Structure 1
Amino acid sequence: MRLDYVCSQCGSGIDEIFVQELDEIAFGFDCLNDAERQELLTFDPDSNTLTVKTLCDYCIAEMKLDLSAPTAKVHWLH
């Protein structure tokens, strides 16, 4: 199976990985909910390719995103 990583903002190709078997936990896909999976992952059975939408370094810099900030909501118990 081929995994194509593509920037969701500019459309540029970021990387291409070939795997024998897709391990969702190793690639972090297990953390996605159904809506996120539909938005970010597209499978083409004809080419056996999973396209993964992400952000390239250029777009991250242009958007001035703070990668040191947590990406998941923190739920504090009081």
Structure 2
Amino acid sequence: MKGVINNIFLFFLILAILTALCLVAIQIVSVVTVNGSLAIWAKSTLQTPVCILCSFSALIAFAMSYLSKPAKEN
């Protein structure tokens, strides 16, 4: 169970980081080419998916913190 949740966490984390890097790369290109509409498009298109993916990663990490605690002995 822990391994499956860990893999899901890594999937969402890597996807969030890659999407955020694409957003930043597009914005850098738009600054260099002085294309403001490209920067606005990138923000309006990619910002919401990045935030959602980061939220999924955070929720799964929170759940993992409870799963990784050892059971208390009586």
Bigger Rg, structure 1 or 2: 2
Greater relative contact order (Cα 8 A, min sep 6): structure 1 or 2? Answer: 2
Higher-strand-fraction structure? 1
Shared fold per TM-score greater than 0.5: no
